[in-house]
Amino acid sequence: MRRGRRRVSRVATISMHTSPLDQPGTGDAGGMNVYVVEVAKRLAGLGVEVEIFTRQTARDLPPVAEIVPGVSVRHITAGPYEELDKGDLPGQLCGFLSGVLRTEAMYEPGRYDVIHSHYWLSGQVGWLAKERWGVPLVHTMHTMAKVKNLLLADDDNPEPQIRVAGEQQVVDIADRLVANTPTEARELVELYGAAPGRVEVVSPGVNLTVFQPASQSAARHRLGLPDDAHVLLFVGRVQPLKAPDVLLRAAALMLAEDPALRSRLVVACVGGPSGNGLARPSYLTEVAASLGISDVVRIVPPAPQHELADWYRAADVTVVPSHSESFGLVALESQACGTPVAAASVGGLRTAVRDGVSGVLVEGHDPHDWARVLSRFVHQPAWRDALAAGAVTQAASFGWSATASRLADVYARAMTHLSEVPVAAGS
């Protein structure tokens, strides 16, 4: 029998396709990047060392970068020093895996207690590292091809079969699968045949130190917004999956219904093109022009967290019209700042937002339905203020420290389970 250790000391976190050092809202960086960094910091606070493996995307990046004491990022050379489309990354799996295995080989055996991989590409690497090191693999999908393909936007492309097959392999081999919500847990079981006993639900958190209520007027002053504006906010990567065009089309309908609103309406979109959106980097600008609302639309590049918090505080409502979301950290960040959310009733958004308490869940993506909901935020300030109070309470129940603590328990259970698996003689 292997001798298991119930307490984890060092985790190998694998985030192949996007670095935790990247600015969320650009390229492939988003909520997953925030998740990896925030969890690693909190694990370090619990005395767990975290080494994050990611692909090197620039020649001048150091081999190892420390985020905080106990958390380091290891840049692995695999393919050209440039950002590759995720569709090209399967061809770099062997090179990346080789770099991960070489790193572990520089140390005494048993350096890592557990592997936590994020997204299916990292899961493929984690699968082989698990076999080589004899440690458990914990995997978080973040998004799933089968789910995305069931909820495609009209102008989006389906996820390829290679991803579907790759995800299935990871589901079959992982010792534990971490789902963000009970809905995601059911999808893992029903769509991928995951063993229910290996699926654990651990909700993501929000940085309640950065994202907290503060003066809306002061935030608007810092961002150059009028004090009496009606601000509708979108935050996220600009791609069909996130459906920012739904907000623009709803805003156009609101202006057609109430032309006087034009002098005070601001539709702010904070983020950059990603995924299929890279093919049309000026998409939102073009949509705004075609709708005749360019004068009320502000396209803002991805912002660091302290500035992003100001955008949330400045808004009357944050709009999250995604076709699919494993959780929706944007919704949680907005609520933590005291700004209610209008979100699509899909995936993890049903957990992140309490319908009628901290925001509104909207069925479907018809701009007319969204215009009706958003008009209430403009014309019913008392109702909006009640939701704002509920938003703060809702976000307060989510913290990264609780997420990290629960993950540490998942790691410990995975390690204990592995230690109880008989090993063949001579192995």
Comparing 27 with 191, the larger pLDDT belongs to 191
pLDDT of the residue at 21? 80
Q: Please report, in range form, the residues annotated as the binding site for 1D-myo-inositol 3-phosphate.
A: 17, 28-33, 86, 119, 143, 163
DSSP 238: B
pTM: 0.86
pLDDT of the residue at 54? 95
How does strand 71-76 pair with strand 64-68? Answer: antiparallel
pLDDT for 101-145, tens place per residue? Answer: 999 999 999 999 999 999 999 999 999 999 999 999 999 999 899
Tokens of 307: 């500035």
pLDDT of the residue at 25? 56
CB atoms within 10 A of CB 209: 10
Give the mean pLDDT of 317-334.
93
pLDDT for 232-256, tens place per residue? Answer: 999 998 888 899 999 999 999 999 9
CA atoms within 13 A on the CB side of 384: 18
Q: What percent of the chain has pLDDT over 90?
A: 76
pLDDT for 22-53, tens place per residue? Answer: 766 555 666 788 899 999 999 999 999 999 99
pLDDT of the residue at 279? 58
Give the mean pLDDT of 81-87.
72
Inter-CA distances, 88 with 82, 162, 346, Å:
12, 11, 29
- Nearest 10 degrees: CA dihedral of 262, 267, 273, 277? -60
pLDDT of the residue at 69? 97
Average pLDDT, the chain: 91
pLDDT of the residue at 59? 87
pLDDT for 203-217, tens place per residue? Answer: 999 999 999 999 999
- Residues 36, 40, 43, 48, CA torsion sign: positive
pLDDT over threshold 50, residue 399 = yes
What is the Cα Rg of the chain in Å? 22
Q: Please report, in range form, the residues annotated as the binding site for UDP-N-acetyl-alpha-D-glucosamine.
A: 23-24, 31, 237, 242, 325, 333
Type of residue numbered 93? L
- Please choose, from the candidates 233, 330, 252, 240, the residue with its C-alpha nearest in 3D space to the C-alpha of residue 283: 240
Q: Name residues whose C-beta falls within 8 Å of residue 55's C-beta, 6 or more positions apart in sequence.
A: 16, 17, 19, 75, 76, 78, 79, 89, 92, 96
Q: Name residues whose C-beta falls within 8 Å of residue 380's C-beta, 6 or more positions apart in sequence.
A: none
pLDDT of the residue at 418? 75
pLDDT of the residue at 208? 93
Tell me which H or E stretch contains 299.
strand 297-300
Inter-CA distances, 11 with 16, 50, 123, Å:
15, 5, 15
Tell me which H or E stretch contains 74.
strand 71-76
| Residue 112 to residue 9: CA distance in whole angstroms | 8
pLDDT of the residue at 276? 59
Inter-CA distances, 225 with 68, 207, 208, 285, 311, Å:
35, 25, 25, 19, 10
Give the mean pLDDT of 70-89.
84
pLDDT for 338-382, tens place per residue? Answer: 999 999 999 889 999 999 999 999 999 999 999 999 999 999 999
pLDDT of the residue at 23? 66
pLDDT of the residue at 419? 59
pLDDT over threshold 90, residue 288 = yes
| Residue 393 to residue 395: CA distance in whole angstroms | 6
Q: Please report, in range form, the residues annotated as the binding site.
A: 17, 23-24, 28-33, 86, 119, 143, 163, 237, 242, 312-313, 315, 325, 333, 339
Tokens of 133: 């090191």
| Residue 33 to residue 128: CA distance in whole angstroms | 23
Residues in the chain: 427
| Residue 118 to residue 327: CA distance in whole angstroms | 14
pLDDT over threshold 70, residue 1 = no
Q: Name residues whose C-beta falls within 8 Å of residue 180's C-beta, 6 or more positions apart in sequence.
A: 140, 142, 201, 202, 203, 204, 326, 327, 348, 351
Residue 345 three-state SS: coil
Q: Please report, in range form, the residues annotated as the binding site for Mg(2+).
A: 312-313, 315, 339
Give the mean pLDDT of 166-179.
97
Give the mean pLDDT of 66-77.
96
Inter-CA distances, 33 with 28, 79, 133, 217, Å:
9, 21, 26, 30
pLDDT of the residue at 425? 39
| Residue 152 to residue 173: CA distance in whole angstroms | 28
Q: What percent of the chain has pLDDT over 70?
A: 93
